[in-house]
Amino acid sequence: DSGVTQTPKHLITATGQRVTLRCSPRSGDLSVYWYQQSLDQGLQFLIQYYNGEERAKGNILERFSAQQFPDLHSELNLSSLELGDSALYFCASSEGTGGADTQYFGPGTRLTVL
Amino acid sequence: GQQVMQIPQYQHVQEGEDFTTYCNSSTTLSNIQWYKQRPGGHPVFLIQLVKSGEVKKQKRLTFQFGEAKKNSSLHITATQTTDVGTYFCAGPGNDMRFGAGTRLTVKP
C-alpha cells in the first residue's frame, strides 16, 4: 500500500459525458501528479500540482483540467469524453517539487467510455 | 523536460534466463529512477541512481548508471515468474519523463 488513494476504482460512462477522478496523496506529500496509461502503453504525464499550485504541465488535453485543494487532495476533471479517453488514470504523490523525488502511485482509476 | 528512450519494448524469457533493459537519454541526467509495474498493478519505485558509474544491487537485480550519466540499465539474473511486469526508467524533472517501459514475460 503506497498510501495514495484514488476513487473511484472503476468508472464507466458514455461519450460526451464529464467525470471527476479523485486522489488523496500520502500524508506529508505536497506534490500530486496525474498520468494516463492507455492499454499496454506507457505512462503519459498530464499535470503536476505542488501545494495547491500548478507546477508542470504535460500532454493534457484542453478538455481535461485538474486542481489541488487546500487539504492537498486533487481532482482530475475530464469532459466531453471520447472513446479514446478510455484508459487507466494514475495519481502519484511526492514530498517535494519533483526532480529527485520518489513518486508513490495510487491504485489507479480505470475509465471506460462507451 | 528531459526525455528517456527505453529498449526493448518487450522481452520474453525462459525462467532462469537473464534479462536486461536499457534506458538512454540525449542529455545528461542528474539522476534516474526505476519503477516496476506488475500486471494489473501500479508503478512501484525500485531505486534511484545519482552518481556517474553507480552500480546498485537488489538481490538478483543490478542497476547501473553510465559514466556519462546519459544511460542506465537494469539487469535481472536468473529470472523468476515473480519478475513478470513492466519496468520503467524515469528521468528527473518536475514533469518526470518515464520511458515507454519494457514488458517482461517469463515462461516457467
* pLDDT recorded at residue A41: 78
B99 close contact with A: CB closer than 8 A: yes
- Closest approach of chain A CAs to the CA of B85, in angstroms? 11
Q: Searching chain A, which residue's CA lies closest to the CA of residue B36? A: A105
Rounded to whole angstroms, the maximal C-alpha distance in chain B is: 40
CA B34 to chain centre: 5
Q: What are phi and psi of A112, to 5 degrees?
A: -120, 125
* pLDDT recorded at residue B2: 57
> Is the confidence at residue B13, as pLDDT, over 60?
yes
- Chain A residues whose CB is inside 8 A of the B30 CB are 99-100
Name which of B101, B94, B91 is nearest B31 in CA terms. Answer: B91
Q: Find all residues with CB under 8 Å of B9, minimum gap 6, and list them.
A: B100, B101, B102, B103
Q: What is the mean pLDDT of residues B65-89?
A: 97
Residues A110 and A36: beta-carbon distance below 8 Å: no
Cell of B81: 515468474
Q: Find all residues with CB under 8 Å of A31, minimum gap 6, and list them.
A: A25, A48, A49, A50, A51, A55, A93, A94, A95, A96, A97, A98, A101
Q: Searching chain B, which residue's CA lies closest to the CA of residue A108? A: B42
* pLDDT recorded at residue B94: 60
Residues A6 and A88: beta-carbon distance below 8 Å: no
* pLDDT recorded at residue A94: 94
The reply to whether residue B42 touches residue A33, judged by beta carbons under 8 angstroms, is no
The reply to whether residue A103 touches residue B45, judged by beta carbons under 8 angstroms, is yes
Q: Searching chain B, which residue's CA lies closest to the CA of residue A91? A: B42
Q: What is the mean pLDDT of each run of 10 residues along chain A (114 residues)?
A: 95 98 97 91 91 92 97 98 97 88 95 97
